[in-house]
A = this chain, B = another copy of it.
Amino acid sequence: MRNIKLTISYDGTGYSGWQFQNNGRSIQQEIEETIEKVFKEKRRVMGASRTDAGVHAKAQSANVKLSAPVPIDRIPAALNAALPASIAIVKAEIVPASFDAQHKAKSKRYRYYVVNSIHKDPFGDRYAWRMPYPLSVPAMKKEAKALIGKHDFKSFQASDTRERASVRTIYKLEVKKKGDTITFDIEANAFLYNMVRNIVGTLIDVGRGYLPAGSTEKILALKDRKKAGPTAPARGLFLIEVKY
């Protein structure tokens, strides 16, 4: 049986997230059901990242074990034809039996889009958090720096989760503005539940002037979710890359 790595792109709008949920269709479910339909094999597809409800992916990674003797380069087209338009298999590769998309990931890269505009936009608003208020990009850049490195990110973890260890390492956290689009590029060895969206929500509070200089360092030290900013909405978040 071959171990196959899949690179997957999806528009997460309307889905309950990557992982099976009782309250809606998940990306994982769509792919597993499609594999069963196309290859007549009931298999578990393990994703690198359990993206949350409404979060998108340019390149999620997953692996699946398959017996079907179909040529590897035919797999994307075979699955894509049967998958919904909102999910695409970008690539399929044969990997060693030991490869595990979830546990072997070295780092993950996410991008969050904020559109700093008063203008409602039916096309752009689908994939971004639109902010009609003035935002200081220099202030956000400055506060972002304090989050880079190895820290206990307990303050940025969803309050309803109970992960034992909340220390993670952020390798990169870049804030850029181009036109009225502000992007937050974050790479870390791993992320806590809602961590990216809580960091973005906090930096937006900095940009609006609600939080003063030095806030992110203080928030980290307090290890209390209530001290950080709001959770940015899912629709602006994209999983960009999983590195191995």
Contacts and interface: CB of A to CB of B under 8 A. Distances in A.
Interface of A: 9-11, 56, 76, 80, 85-90, 119-123, 125-127
Mostly, the A contact residues are mixed
A237 B120 CA distance: 20
A89 to B, nearest CB: 8
A201 to B, nearest CB: 19
A11 B123 contact: yes
Contacts of A76: 120
Contacts of A10: 122
Nearest to A125: B85
A90 B121 CA distance: 9
Contacts of A122: 9-11, 56, 85-88
A89 B11 CA distance: 25
A10 to B, nearest CB: 5
A11 B126 CA distance: 10
Contact of A85 (B11, B89, B126): B126
A148 to B, nearest CB: 29
Nearest to A10: B122
Contacts of A86: 122, 126
Given A56-B122, A88-B119, 15 more contacts: A9-B123, A10-B122, A11-B123, A56-B123, A76-B120, A80-B120, A85-B120, A85-B122, A85-B126, A86-B122, A87-B122, A88-B121, A88-B122, A90-B119, A123-B127
A85 to B, nearest CB: 6
Contacts of A85: 120, 122, 125-126
A11 B122 CA distance: 6
